[in-house]
Amino acid sequence: DAKTTQPPSMDCAEGRAANLPCNHSTISGNEYVYWYRQIHSQGPQYIIHGLKNNETNEMASLIITEDRKSSTLILPHATLRDTAVYYCIVRLYSGGSNYKLTFGKGTLLTVNP
Amino acid sequence: NAGVMQNPRHLVRRRGQEARLRCSPMKGHSHVYWYRQLPEEGLKFMVYLQKENIIDESGMPKERFSAEFPKEGPSILRIQQVVRGDSAAYFCASSPIRISTNEKLFFGSGTQLSVL
């Protein structure tokens, strides 16, 4: 799997947009970008995933650059409950062992009141 | 619709004892995955099971660790003769079918194992 690089920590004011970057410069054409988050003392929670088009759901938006070497997860209106570690993961889209998600150290997002 | 249920939430064992961690997948899910999170590290895959079958145990230590998912009842992760290095958070996830592009893993809240 392609390696991802994320900043170890970020701060965001409550109510503002949180933009979490991820570099995946070695991503290959058939690999998806997934985002999960882990709130303290809980299991990881799926947020969103995408291949090359930008994606949006009720939780967040995912912006992937045209060369696919980086992406940004956007939480449009961060709340205190969004404080968590956010993981960017690159995975093959099918076949093989695509359940073997490997979580790195992620980005600790702290939303401040 | 209850989510993935893990128990106990916290488990304390002395070195040399056995630890049994239980996981009940979401209703309708027949695929279970176990992950381990060591302190200050990310989660790492351990084992993937379907009902009565181990599909992939490539992430599981060869000694002392075993997993099962019987036809009836929860999946069990068993650690024999625990050592301090086994202290970690163990997470279980489930999916209705084998995970693919549009399937997401649903995780439980984990079991925190502490070995004294």
Q: Per-block average pLDDT, block size 10, for chain B (116 residues)?
A: 88 98 92 90 89 90 95 95 96 79 79 96
Identify the closest residue of chain A to B93 by CA–CA distance.
A43
- Side-chain half-sphere exposure of A88, counting CA atoms within 13 A: 30
Query: Which chain B residues have a beta carbon less than 8 Å from that of A22?
Result: none
pLDDT at position A95, please?
A: 55
Question: Is residue A86 predicted with pLDDT exceeding 70?
Answer: yes
B31: buried, middle or exposed (CB in 10 Å: 19+, 13-18, 0-12)? buried
Distance from CA of B98 to the nearest CA of A (A): 8
pLDDT category at A29 given cuts 50, 70, 90 is confident
pLDDT at position B102, please?
A: 55
Identify the closest residue of chain B to A41 by CA–CA distance.
B109
Distance from CA of A96 to the nearest CA of B (A): 10
Q: If you average pLDDT over every residue of chain A, what do you get? A: 90
Q: Beta-carbon neighbour count of residue A25 at 10 Å?
A: 12
Cα separation, A34 vs A24, in Å, equals 11
Distance from CA of A93 to the nearest CA of B (A): 5
Question: Is residue A1 predicted with pLDDT exceeding 70?
Answer: no
B72: buried, middle or exposed (CB in 10 Å: 19+, 13-18, 0-12)? exposed
pLDDT at position B101, please?
A: 52
CB-CB under 8 Å, A93 with B101: yes
Question: Rounded to the nearest 5 degrees, what angle is found at the Cα of B36, between the Cα atoms of B5 and B87?
Answer: 100
Which tokens belong to B22? 């239980």
Query: Which chain A residues have a beta carbon less than 8 Å from that of B43?
Result: 44, 101-103
CB-CB under 8 Å, A45 with B107: yes
Average pLDDT over residues A50-73: 94
The better pLDDT of the pair B89, A26 is held by: B89
Q: Beta-carbon neighbour count of residue A77 at 10 Å?
A: 10
The better pLDDT of the pair A29, B87 is held by: B87
